[in-house]
């Protein structure tokens, strides 16, 4: 009886290699949080505005966020996950530009350091002015 050689497989990754290339959902979640944390509180206002004024962009962000959740559960490679995070971050940047472009009178200030304050100066039609700040002066 002659033994037949098994056909050679293509270069498919072994289970051990796939495990080594994948990452725990916990580490991917940490990456997600680190990327989305800087969006801060402004994201809620922009998100609500998007849902009303740019529903296609809003839907695209939701779909991308859902896909990131799915990829985290699968434990995909950090590189693959980061590519999708970059896409989500680009969508957020685009949404932010849309939001602020439609609201040119919206005051946007950088974050203040502890102990810093902002003063606003108003000039009235009669030429008089007034300074308003958060401190009692």
Note down pLDDT in tens along the chain; length 137 residues. Answer: 444 444 444 455 444 444 445 567 778 888 888 877 777 667 788 888 999 999 999 999 999 999 999 998 888 888 999 999 999 999 999 998 999 888 766 556 667 788 777 777 778 888 888 877 765 54
Contact 45, 96 (CB under 8 A): no
């Amino acid at each position: 009886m002659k033994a037949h050689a098994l056909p050679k497989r293509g270069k498919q990754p072994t289970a051990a290699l796939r495990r080594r290339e994948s990452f725990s959902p916990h580490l991917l979640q940490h990456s997600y949080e680190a990327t989305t944390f800087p969006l801060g509180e402004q994201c809620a206002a922009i998100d609500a505005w998007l849902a009303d004024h740019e529903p296609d962009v809003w839907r695209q962000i939701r779909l991308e966020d859902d896909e990131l959740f799915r990829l985290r559960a699968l434990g995909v490679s950090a590189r693959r996950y980061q590519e999708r995070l970059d896409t989500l971050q680009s969508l957020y940047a685009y949404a932010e530009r849309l939001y602020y472009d439609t609201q040119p009178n919206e005051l946007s200030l950088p974050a203040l350091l502890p102990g810093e304050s902002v003063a606003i100066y108003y000039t009235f039609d009669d030429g008089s002015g007034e300074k308003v700040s958060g401190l009692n002066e």
